Structure 1
Amino acid sequence: MKNPTVKKQIEDPEQYSKELLLGILLTIAILDHTRLFFHYWNTNPGKLETTTPILFFTRFISHFFAPTVFFITGTYLFRWSKDKSRRQVFYHMLLLAFLLIVVELLINNFLWTFDFQYRTIGLFIIGALGLSIGLLAFLQFMPKKLLLLFSILVLIFHHSIDGVTVTGKSLSAILWYILHQQKYIPDGERLFIVNYTILPWFALLSLGYAIGHHYQRKWLLTTGLVLTCLFFILRGINFGDSQPWTIQVSFVKTLISFFSVTKYPASIDFICITLGPMFIVLHYIKGIRNKLTDFFVTFGSAPLFTYLLSTFLIHLAAMIGLCFTDISISAMITTSKSYEKGNELSNYGYSLGVVYLLWLVFVFLLYYCCRCYRTYLLHK
């Protein structure tokens, strides 16, 4: 019996390959989220003094997820818009943007915090995607070549304004935080978090949209190799990232320093080392289909559902896990105090070996949930 998850994708190898890549990267993102809740609380994988190669690698491979989501979403939006008028595209994009922002504020924020008072509100990947699609609704009226040029220029040069920082809670300051400056904004018991700044992420989305009509397998490999090589050149001369690499006491630490690129805001080095390999993988996986790829497509064909359900499952499991400790389960309700040193979870956590085992359990549980979800949609 054929897997109903992939039944409708067989005739479209391009869509299948994109969903395959999204599915693989979703499972990696789930690994990083498992680390966040089950590894030692508030551990920074990028801190050279305390990190380990496996901890850094666990975080680093998750970097590929977000750029892939934004770029592939851009290509999806282009394909979807081909048989529609610009006006139809405008209103549909605005509606989609609104829905994603609502999902971010009401659902995703709750799943990360489990706080019914919503004392912590964050702009994460779903909200940033919504804002980016809303902006694209207006800029899609530009000629495709001009939009492509604009996207490339933003990706290349946005790092040049990293030094422009503001403070305070004025409207102009908040708009700047959303555009380019990662910020934690405390306000009494409330905390507002801006992680995904819009400039580079919108540019990735619009890049996918602008080259949608040129999307061909033959240039994926070349572009991917060029971007990957460009990363080593730019990183080698310490250009394009606010965090320069330095020679460390050991080769491994130096390697970690070299690959420790800035995600918030996403630097040009970060974009090159994530987009480049992503293009290469997309080139080679097109046309491949077997039971293993069908497994990952189950996740990639319903990415939003998978992402939200995985966050709920991981957070709930972490809360249940506290029942077997002396720590109150309320400690797993994320508030501004959760980010302070000395909180209840400061000494709580498990080794990375346990994290990886839990991750495998979550992935297989999610597989059956996502398969049932897709089966329901296909038979609806």
Structure 2
Amino acid sequence: MPESEAGAESDPPPIQTDAPRRLDIIDLLRGLVLVLMVLDHTRDYFNKDALAFDPLDLEKTTPVLFFTRWITHLCAPTFVFLSGVSIFLQQARGKTEWRLTGHLLARGLWLVALELTLISFGFNFGYPFFFLQVIFAIGVGMILMAVLHWLPGRSVLIIGIALVAGHGLLGGVKAETLQGTDQVIWRLAMEPGGLGSLPGMIVYPVIPWLGIMCLGYGLGFIFQLEALSRRRAITLLAAGFLGLFLILRLPNLYGDQNPWEWQSNPGLMVLDILNVSKYPPSLDYTLLMLGLAMCLCLTLTHLPRLFQLPLLAFGRTPFLTYLLHIYIVHGGALLLGLVQGIPAAHFANFLGNPGQLAKDGWGISLWQVYVVWLVILCLLYPVSRAYARFRMTHRQWWLSYL
């Protein structure tokens, strides 16, 4: 199905405005990673093994559990990369420098505020507890891009390459060697971990993820190309990312703080090679995940319309879908726990004390997690689809913030 026709039979035509037409190739990719993110968080809150061990631990995991977790590594870098692409496209389509600066500052501050409040509470059901994840990284990245977008696109791309490829060189600096405010600043900028005396943790430090956003901005021109030229450029980009990953990863040259090791069988060796570091995102991780994301760009527009429609609905309403899924997943776990006789209080402060639920024997099997995941997607789809249709026919300023 041609990209311009995806969803045409079910979605109303947009009203005539000066707003730019959305690119289905971007919305489909964003929608897919949202679907995968829902799977990851459903596993986090429902799976009995999630509280017991890391699913990427080769000594304890199974191949299905490993790939259930590993495939969701696509989510964060794709979101952040596409945020950079979106900023480039806004500028390229006529949003003036000062107007774009104001928009990025306002939206970035809005995202940070929501991460500190509604989102952190949704994940933890306890407050205050600041759980700084991908929305925080995108929000701060937008604030910094309010300045960086004044530079030529090539310069921003070079900054992105330097940050993605070079931040690992600072791995020798450890937060525990710093004190007080210096430690918190280093955590926020470079190293995941606790926030000192502040309640909470940062999982997505700003600098490495800003690099990925700069890559998206610097490569955003690819998505302006005519469809055939765009596919060729994305193909070359995917081949470049994946080829460089193999060059660096297979001989353990550079790019990941956890080199792979020889295993007892070839299958485990493949898993170990693929087991790249996300916290913070290593160069190998970024190359592999963005390479796979570009491959998906080439295939998603060929999906049957039946499968494209939910992806487009989620991809056109990314923030609302993201926010809703947190409360549905965590709230659903709480309700199922109540049915099983587990006190609601044990689901509060989930991030601060997950061991309590492990003591309660909470959790379901992995195949049951997949069933719950599909149910949650079915609950999200009509809401996301209705809001996507509303956004297509309305242009109020506040719609860009939700």
TM-score, normalising length: structure 1: 0.91
Secondary structure in structure 2 of the residue aligned to 1:64: helix
Q: CA deviation at 1:290?
A: 1.8
Aligned residue in 2 for 1:103: 114
SS at match of 1:196: coil
User: How does 1:258-269 map onto structure 2 within 5 Å?
Assistant: 258-269=273-284
SS of alignment partner, residue 175 of structure 2: coil
2:358 equivalent among 345, 355, 359 = 345
Give the stretch that moved more between structures: 287-296 or 200-209.
287-296
Displaced runs of 4 or more, over 6 A:
11-14
1:255-313 CA deviation, whole Å, 9 max, x = no partner? 22111111110001100111112112213445767232122101111011111111110
Q: Give the Cα separation in 2 of the matches to 1:323 and 1:287.
A: 43
CA contact (8 A) 1:246 1:254 kept: yes
Q: Which secondary structure does the structure 2 equivalent of 1:57 belong to?
A: helix
Match of 1:84 in 2: 95
Partner of 1:205: 213
The residue correspondences of 1:144-293 to structure 2 (distance < 5 A) are: 144-167=153-176, 170-185=180-195, 187=197, 191-215=199-223, 216=225, 217=230, 218-238=232-252, 239-286=254-301, 290-293=305-308
Identity of aligned residues (%): 27
Partner of 1:16: 24
Q: Per-residue CA shift, 1:98-151, capped at 9, x if unaligned? A: 111111111111110122xx1321111111100011111111222222111111
| 8 Å CA contact 2:310, 2:385 repeated in 1 | no
Indicate the RMSD between aligned Cα atoms, in angstroms. Answer: 2.3
The residue number in structure 1 matching 2:330 is 315
Give the conservation status (yes or no) of the 8 Å contact 1:128–1:198. yes
| Worse-superposed segment, 148-157 or 311-320 | 148-157
Query: Tell me, which stretches of 5 or more residues in structure 2 are unaligned?
Result: 1-7, 395-402
Cα-to-partner distance string for 1:243-264 (whole Å, 9 max, x where unaligned): 1111122322222211111111
Structure 1 residue matching 2:199: 3-state secondary structure? strand
Amino acid at match of 1:58: T
Q: Tell me, what secondary structure is at the counterpart of 2:358?
A: coil
Report the AA paired with residue 375 of structure 1. Answer: R
Report the Cα distance in structure 2 between the residues aligned to 1:344 and 1:100, rounded to whole angstroms.
30
Query: Structure 2 CA distance, aligned partners of 1:364 and 1:255?
Result: 34
Assess, with a 3 A threshold, how the Cα gap between structure 1 residues 2 and 45 changes in structure 2: closer, same or farther: same
Paired residue for 2:5?
none
Structure 1 counterpart SS, 2:131: strand
1:58 CA displacement: 0.5
2:377 corresponds, among 349, 363, 366, to 363
Return the offset for 1:378: 4.0
Shift of 1:12: 8.3
| Aligned 8 A contact 2:234 2:298 in 1 | yes
Q: Equivalent residue for 1:3?
A: 10
How many Å separate the matches in 1 of 2:303 and 2:14? Answer: 16
Count how many residue pairs are aligned between Structure 1 and Structure 2.
372
Matched, 1:72 2:82: yes
Match of 1:306 among 321, 336, 346: 321
Q: Deviations over 1:30-75 (max 9, x none)?
A: 1111000001242311112211111110011101111111111111
Q: What is the alpha-carbon distance in structure 2 between the residues aligned to residue 352 and residue 203 of structure 1? A: 34
| Counterpart contact for 1:191–1:336, Cα < 8 Å | no
C-alpha separation between the residues in 1 aligned to 2:345 and 2:268? 37
More off after superposition, 249-258 vs 301-310: 249-258
Alpha-carbon shift at residue 84 of structure 1 (Å): 2.9
Q: In the alignment, which residue of structure 2 is the partner of 1:122? A: 131
**Preserved contact between residue 132 and residue 198 of structure 1 (Cα < 8 Å):** yes
| Aligned-residue offset at 1:332 | 0.9
| Aligned residues of 2:14 and 2:393 also touching (Cα < 8 A) | no
Mapped to 2, the partners of 1:306 and 1:356 lie a distance apart of 19
Give the Cα separation in 2 of the matches to 1:350 and 1:259: 27
Letter in 2 for 1:357: V
Give the SS at the match of 1:370. Answer: helix
Q: Equivalent residue for 2:4? A: none
Q: Is the 8 A contact 2:192 2:203 kept in 1?
A: yes
| One-letter code aligned to 1:3 | S
Task: Give the aligned residue type for 2:317.
Answer: A
Which residue, out of 148, 152, 159, partners 1:143?
152
Contact 1:185 1:191 in 2 (8 A): yes
Distance 2:389 2:99 in 1: 30
1:333–1:253: structure 2 CA closer, same or farther, 3 Å change rule?
A: same
CA deviations on 1:232-251 (whole Å, 9 max, x unpaired) are 22111222111111112232
- Output the CA distance in 1 between the equivalents of 2:179 and 2:42: 33
> Which consecutive residues of structure 1, in runs of 5 or more, have no partner in the other structure?
none
Rounded Cα–Cα distance in structure 1 between residues aligned with 2:14 and 2:136: 29
Q: By how many angstroms is 1:2 displaced?
A: 3.2
* Closer, same or farther: CA 14–228 of 1 in aligned 2, 3 Å: farther
Structure 2 residue identity aligned to 1:275 = L
